[in-house]
Every structure is written in C-alpha cells, then in structure tokens.
Structure 1
C-alpha cells in the first residue's frame, strides 16, 4: 500500500506548476508490451491540449470496454516518457487500493474536457 506521511509543504505557485486536466477516454487498448499489466489510452483533453496517449496500469479494476467515454484526470505537462514501444504523453492519475492496485481519479459531476484542477 502506498501511504505514509504527507509530502513536504509546497507553495501555491509550486502546485500551479502541475497542470492536471480532465480528459475523456476515446480509446482503450491492450498493451501487452508493458512490463506490468497496462492499457494504452487515447484521451481527449479538448481544443487547448488536444488528444494525448497514456499507459495506465489499471487492468485490475477496469475492463477495456468500460473505459471508453470515461472522464479521467491526468498531468498534462510532464515531458513524454517512453513506455515500451509507445510514447506516453500524459500521466493518468489514480489512488492505490488496499492491495496497491490503481483506482482512477474521476469527477462526480459533468465537466467539460480540458478543465484544469484548482
């Protein structure tokens, strides 16, 4: 389980450097080349950010067919990262369950894609 004490305090300006946006999953595909079980996600973040790809280790709690159309949160301003044969452009966010498996961060009301966390 990934818990523990709070991280060091940061300023509000530090927080604002992390650009977390809501996006809508357009496509979810198997990603057998990943080291750990994962899916390859294509996510729409609206006209300002565009469509981005992400590798997400969410296979324990989510089936491919239930991800299409789901709203997810992601960090959109990290540099792209090579994950096996794909370039992951955003970090899809989640919390660990009691077994350390990822549960996606999601919104509980309708919001437009591209909205920024504040």
Structure 2
C-alpha cells in the first residue's frame, strides 16, 4: 500500500464531478473488533446527524488506533457510495484516511470542532 503514497496525481476532473462525492464529518459512537475480516479491522458505528443519521463502516485502522481512542472521535467519510458487503458485515460509508510510511491508515480528521454532518467543500 505504500506505493499509493508515491503515485502520480489522478486525472483532472470537473468541480461538478468532485461535488458528486459526498464527504461528511461524523462522530464514532461505537467501535468493535472485526475478527471475521481478512485483514485486521474495526467495525465503526458513526453518527452523521440529521438527515443522514447513524451509519456503519469497516475500517482497517487497528495499527494506530484502539477502540477506546475511536469512541467519540470525529472522522471524515464518503456517505454516498453504495453499501459494500465485507464478510458478514455491511459497510455503509467509507471512512477516509491516508497511508503512513508503512502503508498503514492514518485517519483524515479536522483540527477544530466541526459540526456533525458537515459536508466537505
């Protein structure tokens, strides 16, 4: 996965294409182990407020985060992808992160108190 960090920029897109991807800030209200996952992962329950509500996500973030560190944390996620079956779990949103030097995921976040459900622009 470390190769992703050094890959060239993707092709240019129009601003309207970017706006099709709905990225919101949510707050993790529950984090659980996901022993059935092929790669180490957590099952996250994330509150995005009204009108999106509570959604679930599978996230391969066990290297840098504990369940205790995740509960209450604000995370960015794509909320308008189709749900994806991950083993026995239905992941409804894509929690966003960046690779560290070893290719492990570091969560994308905010450095101030952003409103739950706020959309990235």
TM-score range, shorter chain: over 0.9
Q: Give a deviation string over 1:59-95, Cα, whole Å, max 9, x none.
A: 0000111101000000000000000101000000000
Give 1:111 deviation, angstroms: 1.1
Corresponding residue of 1:107: 110
Give 1:51's aligned residue: 54
TM-score by length of 2: 0.96
Task: Give the CA RMSD over aligned residues.
Answer: 0.4
Out of 71, 79, 86, the residue aligned to residue 83 of structure 1 is 86
Alignment of 1:40 onto 2:30: no
SS at structure 2 position matched to 1:113: coil
In structure 2, stretches of 5+ residues that fail to align are none
Count of residues in correspondence between the two structures: 118
1:13 corresponding residue in structure 2: 16
User: What stretches of structure 1 of length at least 5 have no aligned partner?
Assistant: none
Please state which structure has a larger fraction of its residues in helix: 2
Which aligned segments of 4 or more residues in structure 1 are displaced greater than 4 angstroms?
A: none
